């Protein structure tokens, strides 16, 4: 289970972003749409990749934080539209990771890296087929 500190900090960031988007919040944050955020998502992802290339932990931490901001802002916009919630996003990715790691969560045997990649691809393809 996550530490109380992790839960508190995640909740704090979520509350900050909610306030930025609220009445009396930041005009820039309130104007953002999924389409307008896309360029910032790409920029911040590139900056994180660069920080990883330089193996700079402080810079990596900063860029991960910037991505958290962009992602939670994007979630908040969709919540405001009634499309999905942060809890649904987190539940969905948790379920996906459990499905894609049967060698960890379902008692299946772990194989070689090659076998694990093939298993991941099979599960991903099955998920895609079930969505169509």
Q: What is the pLDDT of residue 110?
A: 75
- With 0-12 / 13-18 / 19 or more C-beta atoms within 10 angstroms meaning exposed / middle / buried, residue 47 is middle
Q: What is the pLDDT of residues 16-72, one digit of tens each?
A: 999 999 999 999 999 999 999 999 999 999 999 999 999 999 999 999 999 999 999
Answer whether residue 90 shows pLDDT above 90. Answer: yes
- Residues of the chain with pLDDT > 90: what percent? 73
Q: What is the pLDDT of residue 46?
A: 98
List all residues 6 or more positions away from 25 whose beta carbon is below 8 Å from its beta carbon.
Answer: 19
- CA-based Rg of the chain, rounded to a whole angstrom? 18
Answer whether residue 84 shows pLDDT above 80. Answer: yes
33 DSSP assignment: -
Per-residue burial over 90-104, b if 16 or more Cβ lie within 10 Å, else e, is eeeeeeeeeebbeee
Q: Tell me which CATH code domain 4-85 carries.
A: 1.10.287.1080
């Amino acid at each position: 289970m996550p530490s109380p500190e992790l839960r508190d900090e995640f909740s704090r960031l979520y509350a900050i972003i909610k306030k930025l988007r609220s009445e009396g919040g930041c005009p820039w944050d309130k104007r953002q749409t999924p389409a307008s955020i896309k360029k910032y998502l790409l920029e911040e992802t590139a900056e994180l990749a660069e920080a990883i290339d330089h193996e700079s932990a402080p810079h990596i931490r900063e860029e991960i934080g910037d991505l958290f901001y962009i992602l939670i802002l994007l979630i908040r916009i969709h919540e405001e539209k009634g499309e999905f919630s942060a809890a649904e996003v987190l539940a969905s990715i948790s379920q996906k990771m459990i499905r894609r790691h049967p060698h960890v969560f379902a008692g299946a045997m772990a194989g070689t890296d090659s076998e694990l990649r093939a298993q991941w691809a099979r599960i991903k393809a099955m998920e895609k087929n079930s969505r169509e």
